[in-house]
Amino acid sequence: MEVNVSFTELLAQTFPRLLQGLAVTLESTLLSLVLAAVVGLLFGLLSVSRNKVSRAIARVYVDIIRGTPIIVQAFFIYFGVTSALNMRMEPMTAGVITLTLNAGAYLAEIFRGGIQSVDKGQMEAARSLGLPHGMAMRKVILPQAIRTMIPAIVNQCIITLKDSSILSVIGMAELTQVGKLIIANNLESFRMWLIVGIMYFIIIMILSWVSKRIEKRLQNG
The tens digit of pLDDT for each residue in 136-171 reads 777 777 777 887 888 889 889 999 999 999 999 998
Asked whether residue 2 is assigned to any structural domain, the reply reads: no
Asked whether residue 34 is assigned to any structural domain, the reply reads: yes
Tell me the CATH number at 131.
Answer: 1.10.3720.10
| Mean pLDDT within 42-71 | 93
Asked whether residue 149 is assigned to any structural domain, the reply reads: yes
| Domain housing 152 | 7-220
Q: What percent of the chain has pLDDT over 90?
A: 58
Q: Are 24 and 90 spatial neighbours (Cβ–Cβ below 8 Å)?
A: no
Closest CA to 160 of 56, 39, 61, 58: 39
Question: How far apart are the C-alpha atoms of 41 and 105, rounded to whole Å?
Answer: 10
| Mean pLDDT within 184-195 | 90
Q: Could you tell me if residue 130 is left (phi over 0), alpha (psi between -120 and 50 degrees) or otherwise beta?
A: left
Mean pLDDT check: name the lowest of 23-27, 134-138, 167-171, 190-194: 134-138
Q: Say if residue 20 is exposed, middle or buried (CB neighbours under 10 Å; 0-12, 13-18, 19+).
A: middle
**Domain count of the fold of the chain:** 1
| pLDDT surpassing 90 at residue 201 | yes
| pLDDT surpassing 70 at residue 1 | no
Asked whether residue 205 is assigned to any structural domain, the reply reads: yes
| Mean pLDDT within 71-98 | 94
pLDDT tens digit sequence for 108-120: 999 998 888 877 7
The whole-number pLDDT of residue 141 equals 79
The whole-number pLDDT of residue 2 equals 45
| pLDDT surpassing 70 at residue 103 | yes
| Mean pLDDT within 17-30 | 94
Asked whether residue 115 is assigned to any structural domain, the reply reads: yes
Asked whether residue 1 is assigned to any structural domain, the reply reads: no
Q: What percent of the chain has pLDDT over 70?
A: 95
The whole-number pLDDT of residue 105 equals 96
| pLDDT surpassing 80 at residue 125 | no
The whole-number pLDDT of residue 99 equals 96
Q: Are 28 and 96 spatial neighbours (Cβ–Cβ below 8 Å)?
A: yes
Closest CA to 55 of 64, 46, 42: 46
Q: Using CA atoms of 129, 132, 133, 138 in order, give the dihedral in degrees to the nearest 10.
A: -90
Question: For all residues of the chain together, what is the average pLDDT?
Answer: 88
pLDDT tens digit sequence for 164-180: 999 999 988 889 999 99
Q: Are 131 and 139 spatial neighbours (Cβ–Cβ below 8 Å)?
A: yes
**188 SS3 class:** coil
Question: How far apart are the C-alpha atoms of 78 and 71, rounded to whole Å?
Answer: 10
